[in-house]
Amino acid sequence: MIQLTINGQSQQFEAPINVTQLIDHLALHDKRFAIERNGEIVPRSQFSEQLLVHGDQLEVVVAVGGG
Amino acid sequence: MDNLVIAGKSYTSRLLVGTGKYKDFNETRTAVETSGAEIITVAIRRTNIGQTADQPNLLDVLSPSQYTLLPNTAGCYTVDDAVRTLRLARELLDGHSLVKLEVLGDPKTLFPNVVETLKAAEILIKESFEVMVYTSDDPILAKQLEEIGCVAIMPLASLIGSGMGILNPWNLQIIIDNAKVPVIVDAGVGTASDATIAMELGCDGVLMNTAIAAAKDPVLMASAMRKAVESGREAYLAGRMEKKLYSASPSSPVDGVIAQTLGDKKIGPKSA
């Protein structure tokens, strides 16, 4: 069991997952978004390589209206 | 052509608009289109986990292929938050490096924290961002931001969202006179005449959001702002006449006015 903090919310996963699997889990695959893991950008090219571990802090962001 | 050039890219519109506070995406799109703006600001925010499936996305409505998107750091009060937000924005927008930096100092006034703004700008410029920077109307700070490599200086006219117009045209004038990069008034414009005055002062552009979005008819105000910015720019380029309080000079010929005489009877002013 691992615990990830995603946008400030705790979520538990049965087993370690990579970023691609996280994107699927969040139903984000057809969205335009960006991910930061523990303060570092995760480039799209590394989504399948980066295995998330217990305690990881993730920020998943999109563009919204703003001035 | 009289284009606005920022970081080597040329734009025909000198009006930059935000995309916040509209009632829905349809109104956002219509107002933006009507404004004629080519550069539009967007905010970067956490996605709603678990509620994203069918939500429309701003970028589906305002495509990055059609507009130059300017991601901002609205809501950031620290160097770290601002820098992280723009790194995320660059990833989100496929390496796009033109950004709007603002580091706020106070939630009540949204005044910029200029010390932190300078620090954040330095970091971002080292990382090859092209930084358009929101700042106070302090001419010394504006110059420093330019010297460290910001591609546009964006002083406030008055507080963000206040609609108070240009409170210190003299400071803006000094900033404009000293700057070699575009100066864009950002924040505080309330109505069309404010935008025109900014452009008449010699600003290179005006950035606004609330003035359009909070108008009773945002699309009509977007149209007004487009004309206001164009008018102000043309008046600036044309060069206004000198102000002369006591040397009134009529536009029509002084001689040959028929009303001055009628036969032999003078009916005009006695001195004439």
Check residue B256 and give its pLDDT. 87
Helix (H) and strand (E) counts in chain B: 9, 12
Looking at this protein, which amino acid is placed at residue B61? V
Per-residue pLDDT reduced to its tens digit, B72-113: 999 999 999 999 999 999 999 999 999 999 999 999 999 999
CB atoms A60 and B160 under 8 Å? no
Given a contact cutoff of 8 angstroms between Cβ atoms, the answer to whether B62 and B94 are in contact is: no
Token pair, residue B225, equals 């702002």
Catalytic residues of B: 100
pTM of the entire structure?
Answer: 0.90
What residues of A are in contact with residue B207 (Cβ under 8 Å)?
A: 67
Counting one residue from A and one from B, how many pairs have CB atoms under 8 Å apart?
107
Per-residue pLDDT reduced to its tens digit, B242-252: 988 887 788 89
CB atoms B47 and A61 under 8 Å? yes
Searching chain A, which residue's CA lies closest to the CA of residue B18? A67
| B77 half-sphere exposure, CB direction, 13 A CA radius | 7
What residues of B are in contact with residue A57 (Cβ under 8 Å)?
A: none
Helix (H) or strand (E) holding B231: helix B218-238
The ipTM value here is 0.94
CB atoms A33 and B92 under 8 Å? yes
Per-residue pLDDT reduced to its tens digit, A2-41: 999 999 999 999 888 999 999 998 888 778 899 999 999 9
Check residue B272 and give its pLDDT. 46
Answer whether residue B263 shows pLDDT above 80: no
